[in-house]
Amino acid sequence: MAATLAFNTQFDPQTGLAVPIAPGLVRVTAPNGSAYTFTGTNSFLLGHERLALLDPGPDDPVHLAALRKAIAGRPLDAIVLTHTHRDHSAAAARLGREFDVPIWFGGRHQLSRPLRRFERNRLVRSCDWDLLPDRTLLDGETITAGDVAISVHATPGHCANHLAFGLGDVLLSGDHVMGWNSTLVSVPDGSMADYLASLDKVMALPQQLYVPAHGYVIENGPAFAAALKAHRQSRSEQVLAAVQAGAHSVGAIVRSIYPSQNLLVRRAAAMTIGAHVEYLENQGKLVVARRPWGTRITR
């Protein structure tokens, strides 16, 4: 039985400071807090005498200065990305040039599936479309990052090129598993089917301590991931019930499930509800008629 899902929103990011998390792992949180990034993007320095920089975050002069201070003159061997949403990757090209180091990630940003006619990607401005990897990291390989070894795990769902990284008993989970909120999955940038499969994948890994790209560490990562999966399954059941009760659009489903939340919450919810609808459609549990003047969802 999955644990009850309880989010931890009590987190002091100590923005701009170098905060040790585990041996060979230091966090520096960027000052880009928002409704979507919580207290800001967590950048990480991997290694001891030689370093790699994971998720350099926004191209913000204050954050860049904090990263340079935390690096403290030590050799930087590479910049590594969990994925190419700009709150994680925007500073990568600048720092790559400054330190003359390669950028490693899971391949150029791409959609989880092609755009349909009349469809738009709601996250189009949040994606680093032009950034190319100097090395494309592959699922299952082990690489040297600074002077430590990390394992690479493809975890698509939040977006197609998302990776998580194992460092000893730590899983650097990026945006795939976060303790402060459930992960945004917005089609076609992301995929709910991929997201759920990736939850199963990380739960089977040996790492217990999850360190996300936003918010605080998750002490029992696999149990929390299992609770996230149960939450998503419950949300799918709510979507089916809402459609059965007469909600025939994503907007109507959102109003049914989130009757009292504010507009910002509903806007984010609409993206993930759209991903649930597509997932249920592909399972044959919903019928979606897409027309230029609107979409009708039925069972």
- The CA distance from 114 to 6, in Å, is 35
Residue spans per domain, the chain: 19-231, 232-298
CATH annotation of 232-298: 1.10.10
Q: How confident is the model at residue 4, as a pLDDT? A: 78
Q: How confident is the model at residue 262, as a pLDDT? A: 85
Tens place of pLDDT per residue across the chain (299 aa): 446 799 999 999 999 999 999 999 999 999 999 999 999 999 999 999 999 999 999 999 999 999 999 999 999 999 999 999 999 999 999 999 999 999 999 999 999 999 998 899 999 999 999 999 999 999 999 999 999 999 999 999 999 999 999 999 999 999 999 999 999 999 999 999 999 999 999 999 999 999 999 999 999 999 999 999 999 999 999 999 999 999 999 999 999 999 988 888 888 899 999 999 999 999 999 999 998 888 999 99
Q: How confident is the model at residue 3, as a pLDDT? A: 60
CATH annotation of 19-231: 3.60.15.10
Helix ranges restricted to H, the chain: 61-71, 86-89, 92-99, 192-203, 221-244, 250-257, 263-282
Global pTM? 0.96
Distances (CA, A) of 290 to 95, 173, 188, 227: 44, 35, 15, 33
SS3 content of the chain, % helix, strand, coil (to 5): 30, 25, 45
Q: How confident is the model at residue 1, as a pLDDT? A: 43
